[in-house]
Amino acid sequence: MVRTMVPLPAFIRRSWMSRHSARPPGGIPSGDEAVLDAPDDRLSPALVAAGRGEYRAAAELLAGTRAAAEWENHDRYTRRLAAFALLRSEWFEDWRAAEPDDPGALLVAAQLAVDRVWSSPARAELLREVSPLITAAARADDRDPVPWRIALDHARGSRAGHRYFEELWEAALRRAPHHYGCHVAALRYLGAFCCVRFGDTPHVPSAAHRACFDFAELAAQDAPADSLVQMLPAWAAYGYLTEGGGPGVPRQRLDSAADRAITLSARFAAADPWPAGVRNKLLYVLLRLDRPEDARALLRLIGPYVTSCPWDRFSDDPLGHFLRLREHLLSGGGAPVPAGLLPVPGDLLPGHRGHARVADH
């Protein structure tokens, strides 16, 4: 059993093109080449077909990643297909009607059901009605960790107790010990659990954020060097920096998390949509840590691939916001990023009382 089996402390849009003509220096693509939430070459045909009302490409995509045990891609494609079905459901309804026992259809149905109620004030109650769909997805293929990632998110949203969550967590790790999505789900639960247990007190930021970092660092130490789990400490840093947490996490720990994520990012090809999500969040962390040289180097790896998270935290136009931030970073001559481009929801001030929330990706 890997050491990450006991990491939880007991206390616990579619792609949009932007039209900008100026070309940034250093080989970075111009604004008219930048895209938001671009699908990769495997997902794109499935989304195009779904837009025409056809489900077969989506079914084959998930069947292929499941057969090859490509669990990171399997999870990513499930999320994106469910997000598309949330906007346009006809193709998915046809899929469910034609192949009700298809593991891919069951998986997307479970994710879609969670997504539909997540923003509701009655989320905890509504999520309880979703449990049978997640169970059906898990039973459809016992090897697949993605239904268990959905179950972990479901447990957080329904405010499940720590003992129940640990059972889900161990079941997920038995299927894929280093699955990134399950680890992010556990990190989110840990931050939420700490805040619920301790309430709004000065102890919450320090205790909860330290617990998140402890978990993330241990998981990263256990994971292979090329695993996305190497990004997990930077996820903890991202949550700490976006929500604020007082002096509970030393600067060295934040820099170490960023360094680990930089090393992981360098393992992937430049201008690749696959690692775009982790690179965009890492860029925010680097800017908040005032590491402009590292941020500029990361821009070259991001290339044209912008993701909504984290920039939709600051603007209804995340692509435009990213481009303005990029322009400042490349031409600002070392000047600090203006507050309007990188607002701080909870600054790193002594005594600041934030919340240990790891934001959704």
Going by pLDDT thresholds of 50, 70 and 90, the confidence category of residue 232 is: very high
Q: Of 7-16, 156-165, 180-189, 260-269, which range is least confident?
A: 7-16
Mean pLDDT of 67-89: 98
CA distance 99 to 128: 25
Q: Which pLDDT value is given to residue 31?
A: 52
Residues 64, 186, 240, CA angle at the centre, nearest 5°?
Answer: 120
Q: Are the CB atoms for 19 and 35 separated by under 8 Å? A: no
Going by pLDDT thresholds of 50, 70 and 90, the confidence category of residue 345 is: low
Going by pLDDT thresholds of 50, 70 and 90, the confidence category of residue 271 is: very high
CA distance 162 to 283: 33
Q: 132 Cβ partners below 8 Å, 6+ apart?
A: none
Q: Please, what is the average pLDDT of the chain?
A: 86
Going by pLDDT thresholds of 50, 70 and 90, the confidence category of residue 200 is: very low
Model confidence, pTM: 0.87
Q: What is the pLDDT of residues 86-97, one digit of tens each?
A: 999 999 999 999
Can you tell me which residue has the tokens 């997000």? 83
- Calculate what percentage of the chain has a pLDDT beyond 90: 73
